[in-house]
Amino acid sequence: MSTELEQTEIAEPSRWRAFRDAITERPTLNLAYRIVVGVVGLAVLILGIAAIPYPGPGWVIVFAGLGILATEFAWAREALGWLRHRYDKFMAWFAARGLFVQACAAIGTCLIVLATLWLLGTFGMVGGWIGVESKWLLSPLTW
């Protein structure tokens, strides 16, 4: 037996569903809405991918970007499900590898972060602030 709340939800679409249905009825507005969702979702996804090797919520941002895209695109819904499954499997595998593999991954992550900071010229900039001028602090991109 369904409750009164469930019957109300079946009878009346949610505000979001009603809003989305109103947009869908107007083809030009629907196209514009889908383009905006695509651009925003893609921007969040790219930001998340760039943030993966760094400490912080890189994977959360990736999943958020795919979640935004999944609201409008079937391929993104499928990709989100596939990626979530692969991520869970990888994390289970990684947790089972032991401390040595986890420490190697942490060291590798630190090396990636340091290399990126060096390439972006962060060390040379901070060195200049504190009066340490050395050629090896400078990014090879600025030599």
Q: Each residue's pLDDT tens digit in the chain (143 positions)?
A: 455 555 555 556 688 888 888 988 999 999 999 999 999 999 999 999 988 877 788 889 999 999 999 999 999 999 999 999 999 999 999 999 999 999 999 999 889 888 988 888 888 888 888 888 888 888 888 76
> What pLDDT is recorded for position 4?
57
Cα 121 from Cα 7, distance rounded (Å): 61
Residues 130, 141, single domain; the answer is yes
Cα dihedral across residues 100, 91, 75, 29: positive or negative: negative
> What pLDDT is recorded for position 143?
62
Residues 63, 130, single domain; the answer is no
Rounded (10°) angle between helices 58-70 and 74-96:
160
Domain that holds residue 102: 98-143
Residues 60, 22, single domain; the answer is yes
Cα 11 from Cα 17, distance rounded (Å): 12
> What pLDDT is recorded for position 2?
52
Residues 137, 80, single domain; the answer is no
What pTM did the predictor assign?
0.65
Residues 81, 22, single domain; the answer is yes
Number of domains in the chain: 2
